[in-house]
A and B are shown apart, each in its own frame.
Chain A
């Protein structure tokens, strides 16, 4: 009997099975094959990948019991699973492919000579980062836990916060090559069942080779939806944020290998909320939110308004200020638009460099950066001091947006605004604002209007939108 690669069922010949698996894995160096003799005469074998399994547990709960004398004459896989092996989770593998798949996910395959099947034991364990502090959305007060790369750790972090029996967890596998574990988590009865169904269906239907991070999934799921530069999935590495989202009736999507968990549907206002808002007194949180909205407006409009005012509407600037700006502009060789673009692009380059470069040379960049878009540029007469202030204020404001994936579209549209301001003035800027608001109002995130509760206006939801109302006023159903 030879192992057929296509049907590839187990044969009763142990050596043949081992050979087949070795061939399927191409003789990988990390495949461990441990052969042994159990119950005096039956040959058996354990197969697993080194580094993906808990070697100590295998030794203690699988190998030791097998090596001890087994009394029964009727030795079978059933008997091993039922009486001998002390592993928690197991199931039978009927095909070699399945066996190999599971080995690749960290299972141990137990085979017995003369049995046309294998026993799969879940004993996956690999080195992983522990639960750390959130680096992307830090808070001063509040839980410091952050998700890790391991999906089970992540779902557990959320489950520990939502101890309700209605919490549902469904698993998927996405990616022909990566076979990434994807889970969706939601509260039965609170989350929209249609949305859950739609998401499960879409995730099941993904026919791609790889899935390494959530963005890939986002793009696939939004493939047939409206195009927009605004994100329609919220992502966070904070278990408390995700738990809160689930309790509001959203669906969380966990992806193995990334600490960022997706949340859908999302609203525009979610991106301006920070986790901290819920851990500080409501007066303070509301004030900070207003500040954040102000910063949002500054980072979106200020450079364009500056360009528009200084090139078209000088009559709108107070006389003293105009004289002061005119004085600074004196000797600057570029039009205000070029000046603005120059500074904005320089700042973006600096920001990008700050993220990309190795930590150790960070200081060098910040020193050079301060000089370039600061004193030196002004003193050389290339840009005016007023423009440096505008760009600096804009830049700092854009950092106050808590969600990084929202600050990107804001930064991008800023450039469009500057271009329009330079050619059409305030008139153009206001038209563009209209277009932007129309687009945002038109947008949907999985059936929920993106700009609600502002438009359409939802009074109940307004309690946690622009301001955070006190908890005593929120209705607990």
Chain B
């Protein structure tokens, strides 16, 4: 018993000694950290200008003061991102904690120069979690976006993050790309990445003041707009709304969306709510040239009817279905053509060939971009199904007109 006791005391003492020696190695209290939510990377000559948006934690409590901005921005220049980030500590009392970055914005100049080198730090650093989203600032600096005051959330970084996520779910032209997907696209052959564009509209300077959130109509707003097409890691061009939609269709990124379609025999519109869309990419080789066959299967509902169309009539309904199908076909064709002109295979057709025809792929691999641009042809087969008409069948405006 005494022997055990002695041993127990010895072990206890040695653990006790261990605590101050190796314990608390990487301890960091929450009060010593500034939680960075968003990061902006601008090109400034040969250097990068890094802007961090961090949160004033007291703004998250109930008794927050309305005089202080919930988020603050520091910027610093450096030849590397990490250097610039560390330099920021000369301005701030707390360490910048980057594990919770939700959102990274590149300016267009950086994006055109290549984002790989600036992303390297974020891939490499153990603290960063690879679940943030990225965007390219269109027509403004990344720093402007980072310092922007948004309306729907107290924290601008959170606002942009959530808005991107929500918009991607219900609006097909938006395409949210998180860093993990980007890493995969970088490392795969035969597929090029895209990043969504983010622009500020309205009065940018006033949009960066607290006033922006005070009035019901704000001075400036941010907006996700278009998809930036990347070749390798360099931005080469932008897709407009319909081309962006085509991208979302072909890469099966749509969970729900809304699109307008012209009424058959009228210049008014019908809007169609997409409920399900599946695109199968089938690569083929014809005359030693790549051919892509797209099997598109779409289901949707009618959600808004502006014209006097008798939907209850099966013939009319069939016509409407035809016209929506044609409209989709047009969108997809245009989308593919635009991207072909950029020579960046963002649809991952090359990857499809790689899987199906590995030998042929090796011959094409080194100049796939040219193959994609010049030789690739596309076949479309669309199976379109309009399902429901909503709570009313025919638009009630018809009745009103009849009554008159």
Q: Using Cβ atoms and an 8 Å threshold, which residues of chain B touch A33?
A: none
Which B1-41 residues have C-beta < 8 A from chain A?
A: 1, 4-5, 8, 19, 23-31, 33, 35, 37
Contact residue among B8, B102, B127 (Cβ-Cβ distance under 8 Å from A315): B127
B129 touches A330 (CB 8 A): no
B35 touches A311 (CB 8 A): no
| Chain A residue with Cβ nearest B18 | A423
| Chain B residue with Cβ nearest A224 | B1
A323 touches B57 (CB 8 A): yes
Contact residue among B37, B58, B127 (Cβ-Cβ distance under 8 Å from A330): B58
Does residue B200 face the partner (Cβ distance < 8 Å to A)? Answer: no
Chain A 326-342 interface 0/1 with B at a Cβ cutoff of 8 Å (1 = within) = 11111110011000000
Q: Using Cβ atoms and an 8 Å threshold, which residues of chain A touch B58?
A: 327, 330-331
User: What is the bound-complex CA distance between A321 and B8, given in angstroms?
Assistant: 40
Interface size class of B (residues with CB under 8 A): 20 to 34
User: What is the bound-complex CA distance between A320 and B158, given in angstroms?
Assistant: 9
Chain B 256-276 interface 0/1 with A at a Cβ cutoff of 8 Å (1 = within) = 000000000000000000000
User: What is the bound-complex CA distance between A325 and B33, given in angstroms?
Assistant: 12
User: What is the bound-complex CA distance between A419 and B8, given in angstroms?
Assistant: 18
Decide: A323 near B60, CB < 8 A? Known: A227-B8, A315-B127. yes
Q: Using Cβ atoms and an 8 Å threshold, which residues of chain B touch A224?
A: 1
Does residue A422 face the partner (Cβ distance < 8 Å to B)? Answer: yes
B31 touches A330 (CB 8 A): yes
Q: Using Cβ atoms and an 8 Å threshold, which residues of chain B touch A326?
A: 30-31, 33, 35, 55, 57, 60
Does residue A312 face the partner (Cβ distance < 8 Å to B)? Answer: yes
User: What is the bound-complex CA distance between A428 and B100, given in angstroms?
Assistant: 24
Chain B 26-69 interface 0/1 with A at a Cβ cutoff of 8 Å (1 = within) = 11111101010100000000000000000101111100000000
Does residue B186 face the partner (Cβ distance < 8 Å to A)? Answer: no
Q: Using Cβ atoms and an 8 Å threshold, which residues of chain B touch A227?
A: 1, 4-5, 8
Does residue B336 face the partner (Cβ distance < 8 Å to A)? Answer: no
Q: Using Cβ atoms and an 8 Å threshold, which residues of chain B touch A310?
A: 29-30
User: What is the bound-complex CA distance between A326 and B155, given in angstroms?
Assistant: 14
Does residue A314 face the partner (Cβ distance < 8 Å to B)? Answer: yes
Decide: A332 near B31, CB < 8 A? Known: A223-B1, A322-B100, A327-B60. yes
Q: Using Cβ atoms and an 8 Å threshold, which residues of chain B touch A314?
A: 28, 30, 33, 35, 97, 99-100
Complex A-B: 25 CB contacts under 8 Å: A227-B1, A227-B5, A310-B29, A310-B30, A314-B30, A314-B33, A314-B99, A315-B100, A319-B158, A320-B158, A322-B35, A323-B55, A323-B155, A326-B31, A326-B33, A326-B35, A326-B57, A327-B58, A327-B60, A327-B61, A329-B31, A329-B57, A330-B58, A336-B30, A428-B23
Q: Which residues of A contact B (CB under 8 A)?
A: 223-224, 227, 310-312, 314-315, 319-320, 322-332, 335-336, 419, 422-425, 428
Instruction: List 17 extra interface pairs beyond A315-B99, A331-B58, CB under 8 A.
Output: A314-B28, A314-B35, A314-B97, A319-B35, A322-B100, A323-B35, A323-B55, A323-B57, A324-B60, A325-B30, A326-B30, A326-B35, A326-B60, A327-B57, A330-B58, A330-B61, A423-B24
